[in-house]
């Protein structure tokens, strides 16, 4: 089974993120879910992102990097939206990464020094009309990544919801979220 380091999105460590991590654990994987906001959970994405900007996006990434210290190097890094930043950084820069799962965000690989390590498989998941993912450059970054990495997949789902995989948020999509979860479990099953 795989060992997975999961990074939450801009709302903070919600019940939906914990539930998702529990689903991975039920499938037999070892899952670590650090709280990058140190106990703060917000009622809106705007408030959560204001908090992230207040403490500094660099601090969020540094907390994610610190969460990996002391864990085995052979991790799969999984990030939801804001959590993609530490997940993608670690997958690109920490030796012996087993894979990356980038949900609803992707940044150009040059952001973390590029290129993507050829031995690290990656999946990117997002909605095709999500104003954040499709409208702010993440989709283009995901397409570029998938176009240059042999073991890379981009999954686009119909809709305009951001954070469609978090069951505790109003943006949750009961049709697309299970598809994403099954694809993620399939990925974890083959990289273990």
- pTM, rounded to two decimals: 0.96
What is the pLDDT, as a whole number, of residue 114?
76
**Rounded Cα distance, 149 and 116, in Å:** 7
pLDDT tens profile 79-133: 999 999 999 999 999 999 999 999 999 999 999 997 999 999 999 999 999 999 9
CATH number corresponding to 3-191: 3.40.50.1820
pLDDT tens profile 131-179: 999 999 999 999 999 999 999 999 999 999 999 999 999 999 999 999 9
Q: Taking the CA atoms of the chain, what radius of gyration do you get in angstroms?
A: 15
Q: Coil, strand, or helix at residue 125?
A: strand
Non-local (6+) Cβ contacts of 23 within 8 A are 181, 185
What is the pLDDT, as a whole number, of residue 42?
97
Question: Cβ(105)–Cβ(141) under 8 Å?
Answer: no
**Rounded Cα distance, 146 and 191, in Å:** 17
* Average pLDDT over every residue of 9-37: 98
Whether 71 shows a pLDDT value over 90: the answer reads yes
- Phi, psi of 166, rounded to the nearest 5 degrees: -90, 110
**Rounded Cα distance, 106 and 40, in Å:** 24
Whether 73 shows a pLDDT value over 90: the answer reads yes
């Amino acid at each position: 089974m795989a060992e997975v380091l999961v990074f939450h999105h801009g709302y903070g460590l919600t019940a939906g993120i914990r539930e998702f991590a529990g689903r991975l654990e039920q499938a037999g994987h070892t899952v670590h879910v650090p709280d990058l906001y140190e106990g703060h959970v917000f009622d809106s994405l705007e408030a959560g992102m204001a908090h992230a900007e207040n403490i500094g996006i660099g601090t969020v990434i540094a907390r994610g990097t610190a969460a990996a210290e002391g864990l085995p190097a052979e991790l799969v890094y999984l990030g939801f939206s804001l959590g993609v930043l530490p997940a993608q950084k670690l997958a690109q820069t920490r030796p012996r990464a087993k894979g990356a799962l980038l949900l609803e965000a992707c940044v150009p690989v040059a952001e973390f020094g590029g290129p993507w390590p050829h031995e690290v498989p990656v999946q990117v998941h997002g909605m095709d009309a999500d104003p954040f993912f499709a409208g702010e450059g993440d989709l283009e970054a995901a397409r570029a990544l998938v176009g240059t990495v042999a073991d890379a997949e981009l999954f686009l789902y119909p809709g305009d919801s951001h954070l469609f995989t978090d069951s505790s948020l109003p943006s949750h999509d009961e049709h697309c979220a299970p598809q994403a979860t099954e694809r993620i479990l399939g990925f974890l099953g083959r990289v273990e």
